[in-house]
């Protein structure tokens, strides 16, 4: 599990790290929290012995992306995200840091209406497969995708890359603004390595029990 620290207040976010890191040892710092708290948030999480996914979804001219990723070196970041556009991924890899680069294929909030706006002739799965194939061919360490596409990508491209899947919702949890969702067990069965989970834990009456329940489902599948 990668717990999504989707909070505007750094103090609140770090209180959740204190609360959960006896169970969860991987935390996602997204754009909102990073803008609010910056590197001290990342460093606090790392100094407690946890891993950090810095989820900024970088997308800019290649030179700027390379310079940005160079700033991540030595900061305790394990994974970071860039958009799954070939030159952007290539630039992030060329920074040569110790951070694994994940390419975002298609956002899990992206549905058929958004696909029509692109005038893309295939399905969302086709677009995910196309983008994943391109970035993995460049040597990208992994991808971010919906668990609904994870089995397809494993069959197409094998096991030698990291797959992170957001949009994870335990049975009975609210869908919120996600469209292409999956349960934890189904996501792992289909080949996901890491499950990004935020609101189903954060908004639970008993967050620690929610984590335990998710781990129970995971263990029953494994």
CB 180 within 8 A of CB 167: yes
CA dist 22 and 130 (Å) reads 39
The helix (run of H) or strand (run of E) holding residue 81 is strand 77-83
**Average model confidence (pLDDT) for the chain?**
91
**37-78 pLDDT, tens digit each:** 999 999 999 999 999 999 999 999 999 999 999 999 999 999
In sequence order, what are the residues at sequence separation of 6 or more whose Cβ sits closer than 8 angstroms to the Cβ of residue 144? 81, 102, 103, 104, 105, 164, 165, 166
Instruction: Kindly tell me if the per-residue pLDDT of 175 is higher than 50.
Output: no
Q: What is the DSSP string of 32-63?
A: HHHHHH-HHHHHHHHHTT-EEEEEEEE-S-HH
pLDDT of residue 133: 97
> Which residues are catalytically annotated?
57
User: What dihedral do alpha carbons 127, 129, 133, 134 form, nearest 10°?
Assistant: 10
Q: 111 versus 27: which is more confidently predicted?
A: 27
Measured CA angle at 56 (ends 211, 156), to 5 deg: 75
E strand map for 97-141: 100-104
- Predicted pLDDT at 148: 86
Structure tokens at 124: 């969302």
Q: Which residue reads 């995708």 in tokens?
A: 145
Average the pLDDT over 100-107 and give the result: 93
- CB-based burial of residue 222 (10 Å sphere; 0-12 exposed, 13-18 middle, 19+ buried)? exposed
Q: Give the pair of three-digit tokens for residue 2.
A: 């990668």
Write out 28-39 in H/E/C secondary structure. Answer: EEEHHHHHHHCH
Three-class SS of residue 169? coil
pLDDT at 191 over 60: yes
| Structure-block tokens of residue 39 | 């590197």
């Amino acid at each position: 599990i990668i717990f999504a620290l989707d909070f505007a207040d750094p103090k609140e976010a770090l209180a959740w790290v204190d609360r959960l890191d006896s169970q969860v040892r991987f935390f996602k710092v997204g754009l909102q929290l990073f803008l609010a708290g910056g590197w001290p948030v990342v460093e606090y999480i790392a100094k407690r012995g946890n891993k950090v996914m810095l989820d900024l979804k970088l997308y800019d001219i290649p030179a700027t992306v390379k310079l940005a990723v160079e700033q991540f070196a030595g900061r305790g970041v394990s994974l970071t995200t860039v958009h799954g556009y070939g030159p952007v991924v290539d630039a992030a890899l060329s920074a040569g840091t110790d951070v694994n680069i994940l390419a975002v294929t298609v956002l899990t909030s992206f549905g058929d209406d958004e696909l029509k706006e692109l005038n893309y002739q295939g399905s969302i799965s086709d677009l995910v497969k196309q983008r994943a194939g391109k970035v993995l061919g460049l040597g990208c360490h992994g991808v971010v995708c919906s668990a609904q596409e994870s089995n397809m990508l494993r069959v197409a491209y094998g096991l030698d890359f990291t797959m992170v899947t957001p949009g994870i919702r335990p049975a009975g949890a609210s869908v919120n603004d996600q469209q292409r969702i999956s349960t934890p067990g189904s996501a792992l069965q289909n080949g996901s390595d890491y499950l990004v989970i935020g609101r189903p834990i954060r908004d639970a009456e008993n967050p620690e029990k929610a984590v335990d329940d998710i781990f129970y489902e995971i263990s029953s599948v494994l």
